[in-house]
C-alpha cells in the first residue's frame, strides 16, 4: 500500500512539475482580409499548429487583424502586433508580404506566406532559407506562366481574360509580367478586375478563355455567380488557386488537392521549430509539391469543351458539384414517348394495321352493287345484213348497262367477320410491338445509365491509381520501396486509361442505340437524365411498400397471383390469339353448317340500240320492231353441292388451326406465369443488392483509405493496396448499378403484365394499386 501511494505521489509531482515548466506561446495573425468563408480554414490551421506543437508549449491565438488591402495599414498593424505580447507572428496575403519585405528588421519571429506568385521572385538556385534574422518565408510553386502553359496545352486560346483582384495591379508589376509572357506567344490577354459579387457578364468582351488569377476570398454566392457567367458564355476557364475551384465548376486547374494541407503542415512545423529555439532565418522557404492538372467533366460537357483521349494520362477528371445536365437530355419518359412516336419498326407495324383495315373494306365491298356499262360497235357482212330483214344491219352501235347485287352469301358474310377479327388481331400485334419497343427503349436507357456511371467510376479509379502512383514515387524517393512499385502503378495507369477509353466508347454505342430507337440521326449528341428510386419520375413507385410485400413470405405469393392475373388480362399476345381463334372458328362454321346456306344475288341489264346504218338497217313492212331500249332482271339462287371435297378439307384445316391456337394460348399462359415469378424474384434480388452494395462500398472505401495510409508508411505491401483499390472499384460499380438494375427489372415486370406505370395516368395507376391491395387482402 505504501509503495502504491509513493508511485501516485511521484506521478502527481511529475505532472505538477511539467505543468509549471510548460511555456505559453502567443501567436498573432495578420491577414489582408478576413471573411466568414475563410473561418474554417483558420480553425483548421490553429488545430494543426496545436497538434504539431503538442506538449512543447501551450499555444494561444489572437484574433486575426486585417489591413483591407491597404499597405500603410498593413505596416501599422505589424508594428502594433510587434509591440504587443505576441511571441510569433503569422502573416498572410500579398499586401502583408510587401509590407514585411519593406520592414527589413524584425524584433519577433515572423512566418510569411504571401501568396506571391513565384514569377515575381528571383532567388539564387542555392538559396534555401531567408537568411534574414527572425523572418521565414514560405514560397509555393505558384506560377502564372506555368498555369498559362498548362491551360494552352488543353485549349489553344486566342485572347484570354485574366481575372485579378482589384488591388493586385497596384501592389505587384502584374501587367509587366503578362506583357513579357505574351510577347512571344500567338495569343493576347486582357486584365479584368474581379468584382466582389463575381458578376463579370459585362467585362468579358471578346475573350475566348478565362484565367482566374484572383478571387481566393470570394464568397460562395459570388463564386457561383462567376462560374455561372463564365460557363453560360461557354468559355474554357482555368484557376490559379486550388482544385476546389474546379469542383465548383471552373474547367481546370494545375494545383493539386493537398496544397492547403501541405501549407498548414509546413506552418505548424515552422512554429514548432521556433518554439524549440530555431531562428526563422534558418527555416526552409520552398514548399514543394507536384502540380497536377485537373478538369471538371461536367463543366466540359456544359461548355461543349472537346475532351481528347490523350488527356487521360496527364489530367485528373473530376465530376464536380454542378452536375450539369444538357437541356436536351432525355428522361426515361422522353425515350418512351419518342419510341412510340418515331420508331420506324412501330411505324411499319402501323402500316400493317392500315392494310388489315383495307382488307375489311374489301370484304364488306362484296355486298355493294357491281354496276357496269359497255358500248358495242358492229359491222356485219352486207350480204348477210341485206337478208336479215333489219335484225342485223351492216353498221350498228349499241349500249348496255349491267347490275349485279349480292343479296346474301355465307362466304361473303364470313369473310367480313374473319377480316374484322384479323384486323383486331393485327392491332394486338401492334400493341405487343409497342410494349416491346417501350421495353427496348427502357433497356437502352438503363444500359446507357449503367455505362455512363461505369465511365465516371473508371475515371475515378484512374484518379486513385494516379494517387497510388504518387505515393509509390514518394516511397521510392524516400527509400521505403523499390522502383518496381512505381513501374507497377504506371502499368496499371495505362490499363486504367484503356478501360476508361473503352467505357467511353461503350457509352457512345449506347447513345447510338437510343438514337436508332427514336429515329434520331445516329451521330446526334444526346445526354440522359439520372433515374433514382422514389425520386422524380419514380416518386410514385412506392418502393418501400413494394419492399415490404416482397419481403413478406405470406404476401408475396398473393402479389404474384395478382400480377399473373393482370398479365393475362392485358397480354396483347393472348388477345391476338383470341381474335385469330374467332376467325378460325368462323371459317370452320362456314365450311360446316354454312355450306348449306344458299347464295342469293340479283342481276339486271338495260340495252339500247344507239344507231343503225348500211344494208339491212331498214326493217321490212309488217315485221315487228324491237322497242328502243330493253331491260331484263334476274334473281339467282345457288347452292354448292360438291366442290371437289374442298369444304371438308377446309373444315378439317380450320379444326387443326383451332387446336394449334389453343396450344399456343396455353404456352403463352405458362410463359406469363414463368416470367412474372422469375421477375419478382429478380426484383427481390435487386432490392437486396441495393442494401448490401451500399454497405460494401462504404467498407471498401474505408479499407482503401486505410490501406493507402499504411502503404505510404511502408506497413503493407503493394499487392494489398492493389487489392483494396480493385475491391473498391468493384463495389462502386455494384452499388451504382444496383439502383438501375432494380428499375430495369421493374420495367421488365411491367412489360410482362402489359402495363407501364409511366405511360398511364395517375388515376389509372391508383386504381391498379387499389385493386392489388384488395386482391392481396382478400387472399389472407
* Rg, C-alpha atoms of the chain: 45
- The mean pLDDT of the chain is 85
Sign of the CA dihedral with 67 first, then 72, 75, and 76 last: negative
Please report the sign of the dihedral spanned by the C-alpha atoms of residue 403, residue 409, residue 411, residue 416: positive
Question: Residues 136, 41: one domain?
Answer: yes
Residues 138 and 205 in one domain: no
**pLDDT tens across 690-714, in order?**
889 889 989 999 999 999 888 887 8
**Cβ 591 vs Cβ 654: under 8 Å:** yes
Residue 102 grid coordinates: 519593406
**Each residue of 156-176: pLDDT tens digit?**
999 999 998 887 777 778 888
* Same-domain status, 267 and 189: no
Query: Same domain, yes or no, for 306 and 203?
Result: yes
Over range 580-603, report the average pLDDT.
91
pLDDT band, very low/low/confident/very high, at 144 (cuts 50, 70, 90): confident
Worst-scoring range by mean pLDDT, 306-315, 398-407, 415-424? 306-315
SS3 assignment, position 283: coil
The answer to whether residues 399 and 542 touch, using CB atoms and an 8 Å cutoff, is no
- What is the tens place of the pLDDT at every residue in 465-501? 888 888 888 788 777 778 888 888 888 888 888 888 8
The tally of domains found in the chain comes to 2
Domain span at residue 188 reads 144-254+292-318
Q: 236 with 133, same domain?
A: no
Burial class of residue 673, CB neighbours in 10 A (0-12, 13-18, 19+): middle
- 723 burial (CB, 10 Å; 0-12 / 13-18 / 19+) is middle
Contacts of 765 (CB under 8 A, 6+ apart): 540, 757
Tell me, yes or no, whether 80 and 159 share the same domain. no
Residue 153 lies in a domain: yes
Kindly state the average pLDDT of the residues 324-336. Answer: 78
Residues 262, 235 share a domain = no
The total of other beta-carbon atoms located within 10 Å of residue 184's CB is 6
Question: Confidence class of residue 461 from pLDDT cuts 50, 70 and 90?
Answer: confident
Whether residue 121 lies inside any domain: the answer is: yes
Q: Within a domain: residue 404?
A: no
Q: Are residues 189 and 124 in the same domain?
A: no
Q: What pTM was computed for the model?
A: 0.70
Residue 539 lies in a domain: no
Whether residue 99 is contained in a domain is answered as: yes
Q: Is residue 446 part of a domain?
A: no
Residue 6 has what pLDDT?
33
**Unique residue bearing C-alpha cell 347464295:** 599
Same-domain check for residues 225 and 239: yes
Same domain, 93 and 224: no
On whether residue 117 sits in a domain, the answer given is: yes
Helix (H) or strand (E) holding 557: helix 556-570
Separation between Cα atoms, residue 300 and residue 295, nearest integer Å: 8
304: alpha, beta or left, given left = phi > 0 and alpha = psi -120 to 50? left
390 conformational bin, left if phi > 0, alpha if psi -120 to 50, beta if neither: left
At residue 583's C-alpha, the angle toward residues 577 and 587, to 5°, is 140
Grid cell, residue 149, equals 502553359
Q: Does any domain span residue 685?
A: no
pLDDT at site 387: 81
300 and 162 belong to one structural domain: yes
Phi-psi region of 253 (alpha: psi -120 to 50; beta: other; left: phi over 0): beta
> What is the secondary structure of 162-185 as a DSSP string?
EEE-TTHHHHS-HHHHHHHHHTTS
pLDDT average, residue stretch 747-754: 93
pLDDT at site 514: 94
- What 300-308 contacts at long range (C-beta under 8 Å, 24+ apart), as own/partner pairs, is 300/251, 301/326, 301/527, 302/231, 302/234, 302/326, 303/231, 303/234, 303/235, 303/236, 303/251, 304/234, 305/155, 305/236, 305/251
Shared domain check, 274 and 133: yes
In this prediction, residues 595-613 reach a mean pLDDT of: 89
Compute the average pLDDT of residues 202-224: 88
Res 656 pLDDT > 90:
yes
- Does position 127 have pLDDT exceeding 50, yes or no? yes
Number of Cβ within 10 Å of residue 320's Cβ equals 22
**pLDDT class of 536 with cuts at 50, 70, 90:** low
Most confident of 212-226, 278-292, 532-546, 671-685: 671-685
Helix axes 572-590, 410-477, angle to 10 degrees: 160
What is the pLDDT, as a whole number, of residue 71? 85
State the Cα–Cα distance between residues 19 and 8, nearest whole angstrom.
16
What CATH number did the domain enclosing 179 receive?
3.40.50.2300
Amino acid at each position: 500500500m505504501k509503495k502504491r501511494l509513493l508511485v501516485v505521489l511521484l506521478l502527481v509531482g511529475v505532472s505538477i512539475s511539467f505543468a509549471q515548466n510548460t511555456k505559453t506561446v502567443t501567436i498573432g495573425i495578420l491577414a489582408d482580409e478576413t471573411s466568414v468563408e475563410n473561418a474554417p480554414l483558420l480553425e483548421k490551421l490553429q488545430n494543426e499548429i496545436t497538434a504539431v506543437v503538442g506538449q512543447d508549449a501551450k499555444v494561444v491565438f489572437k484574433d486575426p487583424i486585417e489591413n483591407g488591402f491597404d499597405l500603410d495599414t498593413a505596416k501599422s498593424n505589424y508594428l502594433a502586433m510587434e509591440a504587443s505580447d505576441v511571441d510569433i507572428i503569422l502573416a498572410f496575403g500579398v499586401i502583408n508580404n510587401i509590407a514585411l519585405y519593406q520592414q527589413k528588421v524584425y524584433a519577433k519571429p515572423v512566418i510569411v506566406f504571401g501568396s506571391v506568385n513565384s514569377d515575381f521572385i528571383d532567388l539564387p538556385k542555392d538559396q534555401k532559407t531567408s537568411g534574414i534574422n527572425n523572418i521565414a518565408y514560405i514560397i509555393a510553386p505558384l506560377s502564372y506562366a506555368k498555369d498559362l502553359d498548362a491551360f494552352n496545352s488543353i485549349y489553344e486560346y486566342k485572347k484570354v481574360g485574366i481575372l485579378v483582384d482589384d488591388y493586385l495591379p497596384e501592389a505587384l508589376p502584374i501587367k509587366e509580367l503578362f506583357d513579357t509572357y505574351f510577347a512571344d506567344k500567338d495569343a493576347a490577354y486582357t486584365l479584368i478586375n474581379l468584382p466582389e459579387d463575381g458578376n463579370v457578364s459585362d467585362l468579358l468582351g471578346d475573350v475566348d478563355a478565362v484565367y482566374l488569377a484572383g478571387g481566393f476570398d470570394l464568397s460562395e454566392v459570388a463564386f457561383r455567380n462567376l462560374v455561372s457567367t463564365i460557363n453560360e458564355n461557354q468559355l474554357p476557364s482555368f484557376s490559379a488557386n486550388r482544385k476546389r475551384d474546379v469542383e465548383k465548376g471552373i474547367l481546370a486547374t494545375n494545383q493539386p488537392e493537398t496544397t492547403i494541407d501541405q501549407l498548414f503542415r509546413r506552418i505548424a512545423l515552422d512554429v514548432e521549430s521556433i518554439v524549440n529555439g530555431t531562428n526563422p532565418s534558418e527555416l526552409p522557404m520552398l514548399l514543394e509539391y507536384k502540380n497536377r492538372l485537373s478538369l471538371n467533366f461536367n463543366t466540359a460537357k456544359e461548355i461543349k469543351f472537346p475532351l481528347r483521349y490523350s488527356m487521360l494520362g496527364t489530367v485528373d477528371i473530376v465530376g464536380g458539384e454542378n452536375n450539369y445536365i444538357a437541356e436536351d437530355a432525355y428522361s426515361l419518359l422522353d425515350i418512351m414517348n419518342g419510341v412510340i412516336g418515331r420508331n420506324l419498326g412501330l411505324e411499319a407495324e402501323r402500316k400493317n394495321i392500315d392494310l388489315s383495315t383495307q382488307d375489311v373494306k374489301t370484304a364488306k365491298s362484296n355486298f355493294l352493287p357491281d354496276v357496269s356499262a359497255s358500248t358495242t360497235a358492229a359491222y356485219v357482212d352486207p350480204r348477210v345484213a341485206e337478208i336479215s330483214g333489219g335484225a342485223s344491219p351492216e353498221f350498228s352501235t349499241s349500249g348496255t348497262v349491267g347490275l349485279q347485287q349480292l343479296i346474301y352469301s355465307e362466304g361473303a358474310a364470313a369473310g367480313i367477320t374473319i377480316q374484322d377479327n384479323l384486323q383486331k388481331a393485327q392491332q394486338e400485334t401492334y400493341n405487343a410491338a409497342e410494349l416491346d419497343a417501350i421495353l427496348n427503349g427502357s433497356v437502352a436507357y438503363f444500359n446507357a445509365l449503367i455505362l455512363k456511371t461505369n465511365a465516371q467510376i473508371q475515371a475515378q479509379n484512374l484518379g486513385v491509381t494516379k494517387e497510388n502512383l504518387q505515393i509509390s514515387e514518394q516511397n521510392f524517393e524516400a527509400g521505403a520501396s523499390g522502383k518496381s512499385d512505381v513501374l507497377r502503378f504506371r502499368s496499371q495507369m495505362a490499363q486504367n486509361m484503356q478501360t476508361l477509353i473503352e467505357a467511353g466508347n461503350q457509352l457512345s454505342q449506347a447513345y447510338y442505340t437510343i438514337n436508332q430507337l427514336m429515329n434520331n440521326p445516329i451521330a446526334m449528341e444526346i445526354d440522359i437524365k439520372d433515374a433514382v428510386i422514389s425520386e422524380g419520375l419514380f416518386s410514385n413507385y412506392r418502393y418501400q411498400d413494394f419492399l415490404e410485400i416482397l419481403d413478406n413470405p405470406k404476401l408475396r405469393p398473393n402479389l404474384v397471383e395478382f400480377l399473373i392475373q393482370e398479365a393475362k388480362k392485358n397480354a396483347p399476345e393472348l388477345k391476338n390469339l383470341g381474335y385469330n381463334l374467332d376467325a378460325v372458328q368462323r371459317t370452320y362454321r362456314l365450311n360446316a353448317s354454312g355450306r348449306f346456306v344458299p347464295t342469293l344475288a340479283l342481276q339486271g341489264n338495260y340495252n339500247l340500240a344507239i344507231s343503225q346504218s348500211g344494208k339491212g338497217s331498214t326493217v321490212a313492212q309488217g315485221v315487228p320492231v324491237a322497242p328502243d331500249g330493253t331491260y331484263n332482271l334476274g334473281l339467282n339462287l345457288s347452292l354448292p353441292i360438291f366442290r371437289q371435297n374442298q369444304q371438308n378439307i377446309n373444315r378439317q384445316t380450320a379444326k387443326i388451326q383451332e387446336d394449334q391456337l389453343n396450344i399456343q394460348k396455353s404456352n403463352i399462359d405458362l410463359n406469363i406465369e414463368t416470367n412474372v415469378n422469375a421477375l419478382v424474384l429478380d426484383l427481390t434480388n435487386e432490392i437486396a443488392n441495393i442494401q448490401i452494395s451500399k454497405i460494401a462500398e462504404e467498407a471498401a472505401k474505408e479499407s482503401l483509405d486505410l490501406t493507402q495510409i499504411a502503404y505510404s508508411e511502408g506497413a503493407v505491401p503493394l499487392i494489398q493496396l492493389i487489392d483494396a483499390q480493385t475491391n473498391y472499384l468493384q463495389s462502386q460499380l455494384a452499388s451504382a448499378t444496383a439502383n438501375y438494375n432494380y428499375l430495369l427489372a421493374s420495367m421488365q415486370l411491367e412489360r410482362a403484365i402489359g402495363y407501364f406505370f409511366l405511360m398511364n395516368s395517375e388515376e389509372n395507376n391508383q386504381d391498379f394499386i387499389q385493386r392489388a391491395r384488395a386482391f392481396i387482402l382478400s387472399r389472407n
